[in-house]
Amino acid sequence: MKKNIGFESLIMYSTNPDAVPQAESIPEISLPKKEQKLIVRYETKHRAGKPVTLVEGFSGPVADCEALGKLLKTKCGCGGSVKDQQILIQGDMRQKVLDLLVKEGYTLAKRGN
């Protein structure tokens, strides 16, 4: 049985740099802190029962998200990480994270379930 090979599997090579248009790098612009709609929620699913506080909804460059994550981890005195524009803080730190976000100027931060 023959498989129909479409254009999805087509690979083209060229030595001419003008042959394939280069993707323009679009600079990511971070929304102002007052316009960021951040949601802080508590979760234990898929983490072997260990509680984490998630901060979701950050829009902007990954470097800015990582800087905010580092600030929250430092102020809370606990570990965590930043993955896929989500900030994970170990433990149930919802109220402390919310207070820190409001203090930093994120006025649209709210508590999720």
Least confident of 35-49, 67-81, 85-99: 35-49
Per-residue pLDDT band for 12 (boundaries 50, 70, 90) equals low
In a domain, 33, yes or no: yes
Are 67 and 73 within 8 A, CB to CB?
A: no
Reduced to 3 states, what is the DSSP secondary structure of residue 12?
coil
In a domain, 41, yes or no: yes
Are 39 and 57 within 8 A, CB to CB?
A: yes
Does 58 or 18 have the greater pLDDT score?
58
Q: Which residues of 50-69 are buried (b: 16+ CB within 10 A; e: fewer)?
A: eebbbbebbeeeeebbeebb
Q: Which residues does residue 40 pair with via DSSP β-bridges, in sequence order?
A: 55, 111
Name the pairing type of β-strands 80-83 and 86-90.
Answer: antiparallel
Q: Give phi and psi for 8, each to the nearest 5.
A: -65, -30
Residue written as token pair 């600030």: 71
What per-residue confidence (pLDDT) applies to 69? 95
Neighbours of 38 (CB within 10 A): 21
Q: Range of 82's domain?
A: 29-111
What per-residue confidence (pLDDT) applies to 5? 54
Does 7 or 51 have the greater pLDDT score?
51
Tell me the average pLDDT across 30-45: 88
Tell me the average pLDDT across 44-59: 90
CATH code of 88's domain? 3.30.780.10
Per-residue pLDDT band for 71 (boundaries 50, 70, 90) equals very high
How many domains, the chain? 1
In a domain, 62, yes or no: yes
Tell me the average pLDDT across 81-89: 93
